[in-house]
Structure 1
Amino acid sequence: MTRSQDGHQSQAFDLLASFLETTTGATERLSWLPTAGTLPHFSQRWGGHSYFTALTSALRSLGQVIFINNPISGLLLLLALLGQSPAMGLFSALGVATANLTAKTIGCDRSARCNGIYGFNGAVVGSAAAAFRAPGPLGAWLVVVAIGAALTTLLLHHLGRWLVQRLGVPPLTLPFCLVTWLMLTVVMALHNPALDVLRGAIPAAQGPGLAVLLLGVVRGFGQVFLCPSLLSGLLVLGAVAAGSPLAALIGLAGGLVSSLSALALGMAPGAIALGLGSYNGVLTAIAIGGTFYASTRGSVLIALIAGAGSSLVTPALGPAFASEGLPLLTLPFIVATLATILTVRRALPSLLPVALHSVLTPEEHRQRFVVATSLLSDFRRQLHQALSGERQVALLPMAEVSQRQRLQTLFAELDRDGSGTLSVAELAEGLRRHQPETRRDATPRPPERLLEEVLKGMDLDGDGQVDPEEFAELMLRLHRLHGGCERLLTYLQPVDADGNDRLEPAELDRLLSSVGQPRLTARERQHLSAPKAVA
């Protein structure tokens, strides 16, 4: 190769690289709110210092109580707690700090700590202590909260890990419930004036009118933190909406269904007006309809059914706990959510769960589902075209004019001899040379391998040459794979039941069913197992 040819080829590879990287790192705007999402670089914007990281983790811990991994939402939640009472804000902050410090001390996963996973149970232990304590000095209660919050971390680390590994279900707020019941039992047994427990009846309220019912749903958001005031409920609802408008809508629907179910089952209108009939439904609906499953019509419908089901747990278990002087707390939510997950896993295996470690918003989970639906639909269409012998050009007709012009320029630069075709080997070498050395070993599926797989379905005549139309289609597919690969893999992870990093026929059938595609036919299975299978 002459010097001029080499320079010409390098220029072509640079153009090729610029096309592939145009939107590789781009992220779609998932909400019109600037506060929405998980704001992963929030602490770095304020200097990235350790104390900012700790503060951000604490705020995320508050948000995780209601499935929102967002520091701005956490700040609004802290205001909601302080609005209920200064003691509730103080106790919750202490619970978060102690739980997170315990997690750091025993060596819990740093990423989980930074995302608030180890702090949220401690937060609600603190709010429960503030809600149930009788007026008086705070000192003894602060000690109880610190001990209780530390216990939630130990439970989450051991019991929670067991639940995930053995049953494949999240621990939710079970550590909070267990610790709070233990805390109240011990405090009531001590009969110590410094640790007196408040015992009061539910205030009366007006009849179950529509306005009262809706206000009860709003108060239900506050009751997640044991805050019965309307102001706190509005702030909690606002905190959820700030991080995820979709979660707020699902929570409102779940709270309304739960309130109506509780009313039908005989719950007192006064209790419903205070949000006691809706808070478990709020949590259950958000959990099923957007946190542990991507938000689809099917998952949201199941979420609302589960939210209504959470109201069934209260009359079933309430009397037994009341006889011991203990509140149900979030037990109805835990029972309804875990029962739904286990039932759906057996009855509706095509409804794919979100990977348990994925602490993102319902909008982001929904986007993963959309990416999977699009790519799998393309896969099925390409498979059909390969079986019928059709030319597999799917993305080019939908490309923007600017993309087509850039692709034409790329092709002309790479086609050095002006033959009107490119060799597969030449193009693969170009992609290989473009990829930085530091990423060649780290990337599990390097560009040349993606190229080979995609070309199996593109080079229909088998001559090893790519014409301009094939080239444009190939580049658009690579572009799409680069942009959607991470989201797709997160969606696919729960499908790989045996963990062998391959999709077996039964797993692929389940994956296709999850996006509304029919199962593979015998002919499609045979084609996929052949040496020239479509990628």
Structure 2
Amino acid sequence: MPRWSERADRAPLLAFTDSCLRGIGQILFANNPLSGLLILCGIFAASPWLGVATLVGVVSSTATAHLLALDRSRIRAGLYGYNGALVGGALATFLLPAWSPSLLLYAVVASAMSTFVMVAVSLVLVDQFHLPPLTLPFNLVTLPCLLVSFTTTHLQRSPMLVRHVEGPINTVLRESASGVAGSQAGALLEAVLRGVGQIVFADVPLAGVLILLGLLVWSRIGALFALVGSVVGLLVGMLLGGDGHDAYHGLWGYNGMVAAEALAGVFLVWDWRTALYGVTGAAASTGLYAGLAALFGPLGLPALTLPFCLATLVFLALKNASPVFRAVPLPKVTSPEEHLRLLRSPLSAPPHGMENRDEERERRGLR
């Protein structure tokens, strides 16, 4: 929405609001304020407290970026907001008491810290290795913040932060749904939609629907592979014999969802190879989720989006070593459709007699 962005730039408050909405959209790579608004609606549909905490997080982290006078174009694109939004949502999900001033203040401070961590992580990944920071800052801030609750009284742990011990696993999806879904097909559909919503801690099918609508505003390919990634994650979890309760509530799907989206068109130009690569990355991140959940379970911690980050960074690192994939330079990442449009434009075609296309594609920002 470039015209809207230009209009918003004329009013500082409107520009800040636009940056915050883009920050929420950037959780799923969508640099679009309308996408961010629909995703935010999905979060509020799950829980008003979760929605408020997410807003507190994105406002705090974006304001911190302004106070530090960081790169304005990155602020306006929401790149300093999405980690803070996730930090706020995570603290609202895993800590108690809800609506308490102490927890809101904690969310403000932790979300602001995510901007500092984002700068540090970007200096290493972006500047040195030309890899995106993804949601690593969110994980690096949130996990220690959750551990604090084990040694304090004003910040209490929710029932979800329980040290898990080894026990029998119920793999039946429908039974684990406690009869909520009317059929096995209904349980599967709910699990897929919950997997979409769980990327923002929204454990209701309606949130998944609104998030997918938000992604459709930004990119049809992005929305498709978000859905495909959630399906792949759920199937991998069921094939591995994972816990049916977790599968129904989308915990096996959300890492695969963002991994598929990242690899199949966001950081790599979309084609049939990257489509398969995205599906493979979704399966790999789901398998990694199973391992990290087992590692963090005895500590009482969630895996968050670490599986997605680690798997996706490994898969993206291959772009520098293999000619099979056409990588999108990080400053030029927009949407899968826009990447294809640039690649197919006349300027991307080599001049007559030119056998090497790489030089001309570099001029267009695609390689």
Same structural fold, with TM-score higher than 0.5 when normalized by the shorter chain: yes
CA contact (8 A) 2:176 2:248 kept: no
* Cα distance in 2 for residues equivalent to 1:218 and 1:75: 18
Q: Among residues 111, 116, 133, which one is paired with 1:171 in the alignment? A: 133
CA distance, structure 2, for counterparts of residue 331 and residue 47 of structure 1 = 35
2:217 is paired with a residue whose SS is: helix
Determine the structure 2 residue equivalent to 1:308. Answer: 283
1:486 to 1:220, Cα distance in 2 relative to 1, 3 A: farther
Q: Is this contact kept in 1: 2:97–2:103, CA < 8 A?
A: no
- Give the residue type in structure 2 aligned to 1:199: P
Equivalent in 103, 107, 114 of residue 141 of structure 1: 103
2:262 corresponds to: 287
Maintained 8 Å contact 1:284/1:307:
yes
Deviation per CA, 1:114-156: give whole Å up to 9, x if none: 0000010000001111111234442011111111111110011
Tell me which residue corresponds to 1:369: 343
Q: CA separation in 2, counterparts of 1:218 and 1:239? A: 14
Residue 266 to residue 344, structure 1, CA distance change in 2 (3 Å): farther
Post-superposition Cα deviations, 1:205-249, rounded to whole Å, max 9, x if no partner, equal 169934322321221111000111111111111111121121001
State which of 348, 353, 364 in structure 2 corresponds to 1:383: 353
Question: Residues 292 and 372 of structure 1: is their aligned pair in 2 closer, same or farther, counting only changes over 3 Å?
Answer: farther
The question of whether the paired residues in 2 share the 8 Å contact of 1:108 and 1:157 is answered with no
Does the C-alpha gap of structure 1 residues 487 and 84 become closer, same or farther in structure 2, counting only changes over 3 Å? farther
1:355-378 C-alpha deviation (Å, 9 max, x unpaired): 1122411111121222379613xx
Q: Is the 1:112–1:118 contact (alpha carbons within 8 Å) kept by the matching residues of 2?
A: yes
Shift of 1:47: 7.7
CA spacing shift, 1:337–1:45, aligned 2, 3 Å: same
- Match of residue 365 from structure 2: 491
Where in structure 2 are the equivalents of 1:130-279 lying within 5 Å? 130-190=92-152, 192=153, 194-200=154-160, 204-205=176-177, 209-279=184-254
Aligned match of 2:167: none
> 1:45 Cα shift?
4.0
Q: Deviations over 1:60-111 (max 9, x none)?
A: 0000001101001111112112111111111111111111111111121000
Distance in structure 1 (CA, Å) of the matches to 2:363 and 2:190: 41
- Name the SS of the counterpart of 1:68 in structure 2: coil
Contact 1:115/1:359 (8 A) holds in 2: no
Task: Tell me the amino acid that sits aligned with residue 132 of structure 2.
Answer: P
In 1: Cα distance, 2:346 partner to 2:130 partner: 23
- Letter in structure 1 aligned against 2:329: A
Structure 2 spans left out of the alignment, 5+ residues: 163-169
TM-score (norm 2): 0.89
Rg: which structure is higher? 1
Pairwise CA RMSD of aligned residues?
2.4
- Mapped to 2, the partners of 1:209 and 1:197 lie a distance apart of 33
CA contact (8 A) 2:25 2:39 kept: yes
Give the corresponding residue for 2:49: 87
| Partner Cα distance (1:88, 1:168) in 2 | 33
Q: For 2:101 and 2:346, locate their aligned partners in 1 and report how far apart those are by CA, in whole Å.
A: 53
Equivalenced residue count is 349
Contact persistence 2:80–2:115 (CA under 8 A): yes
Separation of aligned partners in 1, 2:139 and 2:212? 23
Deviation at 1:43, TM superposition (A): 3.8
Q: Which of 344, 347, 353 lines up with 2:327 in the alignment?
A: 353
Aligned residue for 1:288, secondary structure, equals: helix
| 1:128 is aligned to 2:128 | no
Which letter maps to 1:252?
A: L
Equivalent-residue separation in structure 1 for 2:240 and 2:252 (angstroms): 10
AA of the residue aligned to 2:156: D
CA separation in 1, counterparts of 2:150 and 2:3? 45
Closer, same or farther: CA 334–41 of 1 in aligned 2, 3 Å: same
* Secondary structure at 1:188 match in 2: coil
Task: Pick closer, same or farther for the CA change 1:325–1:63 going to 2, 3 Å.
Answer: same
Aligned twin of 1:317 = 292
For 1:84 and 1:365, locate their aligned partners in 2 and report how far apart those are by CA, in whole Å.
33
Equivalent pair of 2:9/2:15 in contact (CA under 8 Å) = no
Cα displacement (A) at 1:270: 2.2
The 8 Å contact of residues 215 and 273 in structure 1, kept in 2 or not, is answered as yes
Quick one: which amino acid aligns to residue 235 of structure 2?
Answer: L
Q: Is the 8 A contact 2:347 2:364 kept in 1?
A: no
Following TM superposition, by how much is the alpha carbon of 1:46 offset from its aligned partner in structure 2, in angstroms?
Answer: 5.7
CA contact (8 A) 1:219 1:234 kept: no
Q: Is the 8 A contact 1:281 1:308 kept in 2?
A: yes
Identity of aligned residues (%): 33
Aligned residue type for 1:368: L
